[in-house]
């Protein structure tokens, strides 16, 4: 294999690892904030405890996300110097702006966590979560703007290979930017919401800790993912329409459309037979592709035949795209179905089969997200900047790329395994109490905000008590003891 293939695989694996942490880092602050708000408004200590436990996870993921983000930041320059030499002149601004939300996020995260017991006014403490939500979302979106620029470059002209008329603002507001950042943002909440709902479903199935807590976590995760999956239908649709206009060969490859057609059908699944330029066994839905691409069933959609075969993206994207859409539709059905049942047939929600369906969907949001990024990145091949610079032109001439690839793979394996092991071990040592009371969510048994080795933390529940299983109160008749609202004191 050539060096550039290893370079692509290295960049792909760095991004694949980073985006999981990045996307959770974008979405989790909103869910933590929502949980805390519910805890205050409803005086429900379950939600307060939830916010505290999720905050612990958020901190670890933020740390790992920031180091993997540093890797990505360096690798863009180290592996693709040709790209950055051009990007530095045209699209450097989002990179520079992104640093500041990142600082703000780190600072307010520290205030938020440390303020749990320092800021007496619960509303004031909750307010400190808002900058985290905004900063986390904006730093992710700013980086996505650079990707949108790679898909539909704007803000400069090329005269005899020389860059001219640089307009950094026009580069930011490139044609695919609004649709791409909307889709990335919305699906971030979908991935994270379904993951939290999945964890709660596992908690209910395995009867670990307070069932009332898990039910609330399930509802919150499901609420976020139901809203997000509904919005994702619209953002996804708009992204497809943007592709039809700005990257027609990517759309043609995703839909395995070999010939340009009026009233083009949508081919779902199937196996691509490249030699005969056809799809075997796919389901054809007449006119649907034209409608998805242009909003009319009779519109003409450009097929791969209008492009030289050397410019075709790998047709693998047909599978990754269909898999992403399939998962998206499953998650939409699951989350909207959950709420339909919640209002119509609530007792069905406690059926184990239904809980298993949610629990096993835990990683699916992330899988769909990885597939989506594979589709957009592989679908842009051979270009790194669409119709401006190829991947091979941008690639470094430096040696040792294959060796570094294996080194980084080992690092990512250790990092991913380490994160899971450390978080699991931590929450095993700080199990969820069987009953959530006002005391449980305070500083002592704080759901993991203290230091485990600290001698003055209350002893962990005896193993026997932990093993004792309660019948989960699925109708949640159990009302938590509400505590008197704290005296409002402004801090300091």
Please list every residue from 152 through 171 that binds another protein, using CB under 8 A: 163, 166-169
Of 248-256, 414-422, 463-471, 478-486: span binding another protein (CB under 8 A): 414-422
In whole angstroms, give the CA distance from residue 71 to residue 415: 13
Q: Is the peptide bond before 259 cis (omega within 30 degrees of 0)?
A: no
Pick the closer one to another protein by CB: 283 or 407: 407
Answer yes or no whether residue 308 interacts with another protein by CB under 8 A. Answer: no
The distance of closest approach from Cβ of residue 60 to another protein in the complex, given in angstroms and rounded to an integer, is 5
The answer to the question of residue 37 lying near another protein (CB under 8 A) is no
Q: Which two tokens stand for residue 55?
A: 């905050």
* Residue number with CB closer to another protein (77 or 350): 77
Number of residues lying near another protein (CB under 8 A): 86
Residue 210 Cβ vs another protein, minimum distance, rounded to whole Å: 22
Measured from the CB atom, is 285 or 443 closer to another protein?
A: 443
Tokens of 9: 């695989």
Rounded to a whole number of angstroms, the minimum distance from the CB of residue 383 to another protein is: 19
CA distances from 29 to 16, 87, 115, 199, 283 (A): 21, 31, 15, 17, 41
The footprint of another protein on residues 168-207 (CB under 8 A) is: 168-169
Identify the burial level of 454 via C-beta atoms within 10 angstroms of its C-beta, where 0-12 means exposed, 13-18 middle and 19 or more buried.
Answer: exposed
Cβ closest to another protein, residue 135 vs residue 325 = 135
Q: Which 238-257 residues touch another protein, going by CB under 8 A?
A: none
Residue with smaller CB distance to another protein, 109 or 194: 109
CB nearer another protein, residue 447 or residue 472? 447
Cβ–Cβ < 8 Å for 292, 240? yes
What beta strand segments (E) does 232-299 contain? 261-262, 266-268, 271-273, 278-280, 283-285
Out of 78, 231, 357, 460, the residue judged to bind another protein by CB under 8 A: 78
If binding is defined by CB under 8 A, does position 420 make contact with another protein?
A: no
Cβ proximity to another protein, 453 vs 484, nearer residue: 453
CB 427 within 8 A of CB 415: no
Both tokens assigned to 202? 């596992």
Chain position carrying tokens 């969820």: 432
Binding map of another protein across residues 429-468, x = CB under 8 A, - = no contact: x-------------x-----xxxxxx-x------------
The kind and range of the H/E element at 389 are strand 389-390
As measured in angstroms, the least distance from the Cβ of 306 to another protein is: 34
Q: Using the rule CB under 8 A, which residue among 64, 150, 299, 315 binds another protein? A: 64
- Residue 262: CB atoms within 10 A of its CB come to 12
> Is 107 or 245 the residue whose CB approaches another protein more closely?
107
| Positions in 93-122 near another protein (CB under 8 A) | 93, 95-100, 102-104, 106-111, 113-119
Q: Does 407 bind another protein (CB under 8 A)?
A: yes
Fill in the per-residue mask, 363 to 382: x = in contact with another protein (CB under 8 A), - = not in contact.
Answer: --------------------
CA–CA distances in Å: residue 256 to residues 91, 229, 299, 334, 447:
32, 25, 17, 28, 50
**Counting contacts by CB under 8 A, is residue 404 touching another protein?**
yes
Query: What is the residue-wise DSSP string for 213-231?
Result: HHHHHHHHHHHHHHHHHHH
- In the chain the first and final C-alpha atoms are separated, in Å, by 63
Q: To the nearest whole angstrom, how small is the minimum distance from the Cβ of residue 150 to another protein?
A: 15
| Cα–Cα distance measured from residue 481 to residue 212, given in angstroms and rounded to the nearest whole number | 13
Q: How many CB atoms lie within 10 A of CB 136?
A: 28
CB of 149 to another protein, least distance (A): 13
Establish if 67 lies at the interface with another protein (CB under 8 A): yes
Q: Find the part of the chain contacting another protein (CB under 8 A) among 247-255, 298-306, 359-367, 408-416.
A: 408-416
- Residue 481 CB, nearest distance to another protein (Å)? 24
Q: Give least dist CB 216 to another protein, A.
A: 23
Of positions 84, 227, 357, 409, contacts another protein by CB under 8 A: 84
CB atoms within 10 A of CB 70: 11
Residue 409 sits in the site that holds another protein (CB under 8 A): no
Tell me the C-alpha distance between 195 and 218, whole Å: 10
Say what the alpha-carbon torsion angle 272, 276, 282, 284 is, to the nearest 10 degrees: 130
Answer yes or no: are the C-beta atoms of 401 and 179 closer than 8 Å.
no
H-only helix segments in 91-165: 92-118, 122-127, 129-151
What's the closest the beta carbon of residue 477 comes to another protein, in angstroms? 34
| Helix-strand-coil split of the chain, %, nearest 5 | 65, 5, 30
Query: DSSP secondary-structure letter at 435?
Result: S
Q: How far is the CB of 95 from another protein (least distance, A)?
A: 5
């Amino acid at each position: 294999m050539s060096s550039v293939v290893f370079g692509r695989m290295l960049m792909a694996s760095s991004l694949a690892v980073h985006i999981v942490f990045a996307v959770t880092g974008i979405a989790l602050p909103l869910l933590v904030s929502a949980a805390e708000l519910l805890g205050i408004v409803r005086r429900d200590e379950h939600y307060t405890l939830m916010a505290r436990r999720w905050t612990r996870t958020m901190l670890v993921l933020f740390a790992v996300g920031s180091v993997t983000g540093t890797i990505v930041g360096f690798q863009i320059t180290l592996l693709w110097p040709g790209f950055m030499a051009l990007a530095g002149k045209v699209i450097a601004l989002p990179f520079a702006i992104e640093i500041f939300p990142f600082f703000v996020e780190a600072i307010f995260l520290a205030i938020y966590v440390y303020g749990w017991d320092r800021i007496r006014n619960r509303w004031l403490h909750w307010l400190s979560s808002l900058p985290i939500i905004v900063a986390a979302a904006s730093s992710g979106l700013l980086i996505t703007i650079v990707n949108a620029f790679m898909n539909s470059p704007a803000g400069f002209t090329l005269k005899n290979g020389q860059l001219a008329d640089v307009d950094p603002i026009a580069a930011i507001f490139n044609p695919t930017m609004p649709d791409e950042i909307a889709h990335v943002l919305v699906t971030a909440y979908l991935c994270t919401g379904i993951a939290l709902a999945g964890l709660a479903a596992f908690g209910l199935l395995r009867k670990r800790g307070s069932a009332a807590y898990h039910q609330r976590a399930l509802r919150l995760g499901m609420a976020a993912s139901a809203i997000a999956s509904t919005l994702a239908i619209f953002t996804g649709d708009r992204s497809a329409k943007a592709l039809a206009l700005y990257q027609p060969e990517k759309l043609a490859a995703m839909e395995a459309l070999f010939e340009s057609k009026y009233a083009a059908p949508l081919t779902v699944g199937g196996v691509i037979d490249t030699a005969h330029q056809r799809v075997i066994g796919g389901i054809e839905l007449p006119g649907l592709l034209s409608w998805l691409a242009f909003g009319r069933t009779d519109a003409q959609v450009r097929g791969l035949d209008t492009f030289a075969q050397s410019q075709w993206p790998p047709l693998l994207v047909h599978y990754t795209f269909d898999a992403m859409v399939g998962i998206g539709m499953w998650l939409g059905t699951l989350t909207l179905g959950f709420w339909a049942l919640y209002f119509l047939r609530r007792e069905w929600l406690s059926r184990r089969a239904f809980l298993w369906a949610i629990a096993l969907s835990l990683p699916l949001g992330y899988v769909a997200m990885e597939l989506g990024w594979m589709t957009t990145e592989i679908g842009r091949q051979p270009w790194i900047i669409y119709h401006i610079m190829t991947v091979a032109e941008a690639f470094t001439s430096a040696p040792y790329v294959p060796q570094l690839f294996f080194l980084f793979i080992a690092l990512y394996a250790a990092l991913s395994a380490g994160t899971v092991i450390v978080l699991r071990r931590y929450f095993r040592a700080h199990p969820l109490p069987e009953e959530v009371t006002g005391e449980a969510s305070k500083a002592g048994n704080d759901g993991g905000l203290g230091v485990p080795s600290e001698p003055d933390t209350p002893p962990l529940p005896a193993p026997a008590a932990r093993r004792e299983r309660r019948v989960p109160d699925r109708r949640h008749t159990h009302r938590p003891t509400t505590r008197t609202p704290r005296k409002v004191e402004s801090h300091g």
